[in-house]
Amino acid sequence: MKEDDTLTILKKAILLEKRGKSFYSTAAENSANDGVKRFFELMAAEEDQHVEVLSKQYRQFQKEKTFTSDEYSHEFNSDMAAEVLTEQVRQRISAAGFEAAAIAAAMAMEERAIELYAAGAAKADSPVKKALFNWLAEWEREHLRILTAVDRELSEKVWYDNQFWPF
């Protein structure tokens, strides 16, 4: 991967993460449900951590043409998200409401991030670059997995409430 490609991917990644943080922060501010608000705040904090890691890596790569390998050891705490998005909270989210729409939009945002990071990993010309991009892609996959599970539950709730099962 050329230096320009690496820096371009990092710039795009930082922008995506900043947009993600802004999106999740706005979703938290507009959520009527405290549990959902905490979930979106958690997601905003996750995106903020990505911005920090990516910004450090960008500066390091610009200066030294290498990444540091010790900056990306954090793992997403999916247990915390499960604690925040309890069954009671999920029951209060309307599948046609703001929170559900925000979850659907967040899924698309996470998918774009996964694509960007996977492309970075595929083009990586060093194990450290590959590890960084794979780690970021995996972190976003975990976000997407959680969002997809919530979205699926909301859809099934609507189908059940409206007796809309296809069988």
User: What CA–CA distances, in Å, run from 146 to 48, 84, 99, 140?
Assistant: 18, 12, 14, 10
For residues 33-63, one letter each, b for 16 or more C-beta atoms within 10 angstroms of the residue's C-beta and e for the rest, the string is: bebbbbbbbbbbebbbbbbebbeebbeebee
User: What CA–CA distances, in Å, run from 30 to 17, 25, 104?
Assistant: 20, 9, 15
- Predicted pLDDT of residue 36: 79
Instruction: Say whether 85 sits in a helix, a strand or coil.
Output: coil
Instruction: Say whether 86 sits in a helix, a strand or coil.
Output: coil
**CATH 3.40.50.2000 applies to domain 3-161:** no
Q: How confident is the model at residue 83 (pLDDT cuts 50, 70, 90)?
A: low
The radius of gyration of the chain from alpha carbons, rounded to an integer in Å, stands at 18
- For 18-72, how does the pLDDT look when each residue is reduced to its tens digit (9 = 90+)? 999 999 999 999 987 787 788 889 889 989 988 998 999 899 999 998 887 665 5
Across the chain, mean pLDDT equals: 81
Question: How far apart, in whole angstroms, are the C-alpha atoms of residue 117 and residue 104?
Answer: 20
- Cβ neighbours of residue 72 under 8 Å, at least 6 residues apart? 53, 131, 132, 135, 136
